[in-house]
Amino acid sequence: MKGAILIIAPFLGGVAAADVEASTPCACNALGYDDKKACCLKDTDHCTWEEASYPWLPQGHCAVKKTPVAAPQDACSDMCSGTWMAAMQCCARHSDKCHYDKQAAKCVVGPEVHPDRAAMIKEISNTPGVLWKAGAHPRFAADAPGSSKDMMGVKGDQKADIQELVKKGEIVELLLASDAALPDNFDSATNWPQCAKIIDDIRDQSNCGCCWAFAGAEAGSDRMCISTNASVMVPLSAQDICFNGGGIMSRGCSGGQISTPWSMLKKGGLFGGKGAVSGGQYNGSGPFGKGLCSDFSMPHCHHHGPQGKDPYPAENAPGCPSQKSAPGFTKCDADAAAPHNDYASDKYSYTGDTVTVSGEAGIQQAIMAGGPMEVAFTVYADFENYVSGIYHHVSGKEAGGHAVKIVGWGVDSGNKYWKVANSWNPYWGEKGYFRIVRGENEGGIENQAIASSPTAKWSKASDSAAIVV
């Protein structure tokens, strides 16, 4: 196999630092004279040895030939062999020259980018004043823009839905001071460092349109921790909320509304919320490990944006199939451990109000008062190509509604932004986060934010009283 790696090295770039012979083409010059010469002469198809010896000090240089041998068409598959996951991960590391062919189930030569997507990325990059970086990746590169539509799980008019619940008294509009002094920068994890572990827990909704449940479970977990001064730092189960949440418009992977998680978490009320059990990420991955009642049952996936160092398979590729809603359940996972191994007694809920705010200043004040909040925004096709920076819509049609968690805000070179946690794993975007323009209601993200009240009292079903700090 070493010979095969040597042949493709000039094409694929570095492999392992430990094997300099198979790394960047002709990268032998850091070695001593004898080893350097031997290394160079082992790859005479691509390298040439240039002797410059002196009687007292032999010297020389290994240089790349001016006309290197072209890479064979099976270079990528030779380099990235093994199981489908190993091949896909290897292929992703060389995505500038290779792409994973899902039908052939192997890594093949050449990037595969749909011409419409390539044109979109070029348009974004060439747009004057653009604030973010765009790029293609294996999941969407070969598809036309807009292929993320199935992942957009917010259904209906969230603003109208919440306003209707306000009229019914189920949700309360939070009254805020109009002249409050607001900082230029704020981050919930920094402001409440005792809860940073759970605030920065970036989850993965897999290939399932249950963003509405994830954003609610995440923001609820954060607020429960903040409200109890970290005496209760437990991730609430997105699995429980997504597949047991119910509601006319909330149907698991088929999508839902951002009000549903809070109706489930609020004890009593119009919908008789009974709370949600504890639960972390797939197979106990993530910062909270195993032993919780109901971890998410669907595998990690690579989502929209360049693959980068993301080790997970792309949506609709082997290992990340399109998902259907799991059936409702009333038991904890088999590996759940005390005190999280009894479904009925592991339910966490709050008494008090569910609150909503809208607008830049309102959302800022509400976050400073109680922590991250759930919001929804309209995703356009260009968001599929987000790499970093402050997102704003540049090109492409509407793909659908997506629920996320706002954790804070800031200013970068005079440009205001929201800091938002996505549920597409920590390898996506800016370590699982993205920034989006603030103060201009980009994609309707400032239309309506929702969460438990800062004064809400959280409790567990097995507790005799609310947790008061």
Q: Which two tokens stand for residue 434?
A: 């993205």
Three-state secondary structure call for residue 198: helix
**Does 393 qualify as catalytic in the annotation?**
no
Catalytic residue among 211, 293, 301, 332: 211
Gyration radius (Cα) of the chain, Å: 26
Check 244, 422, 425, 447 and give the catalytic one.
422
* Catalytic-residue membership of 422: yes
User: Phi and psi for 398 in degrees, rounded to 5?
Assistant: -65, 135
For the record, the structure tokens of 315 come out as: 């949506």
Rounding to the nearest 10 degrees, give the CA dihedral for residues 435, 171, 224, 187. 20
- Burial of 315 per CB tally in 10 Å (0-12, 13-18, 19+): buried
Q: Which of 378, 375, 358 is nearest to 443 (CA)?
A: 378
CB 454 within 8 A of CB 227: yes
Each as own residue / partner, the long-range contacts of residues 88-91 (CB below 8 Å, 24 or more positions apart, any chain) are 88/138, 88/313, 88/314, 88/317, 88/318, 88/319, 89/311, 91/138
301 is catalytic: no
Residue from 46, 300, 392, 402 carrying the catalytic annotation: 402
φ, ψ for residue 84 (rounded to 5)? -60, -35
| Residues designated as active site | 211, 402, 422
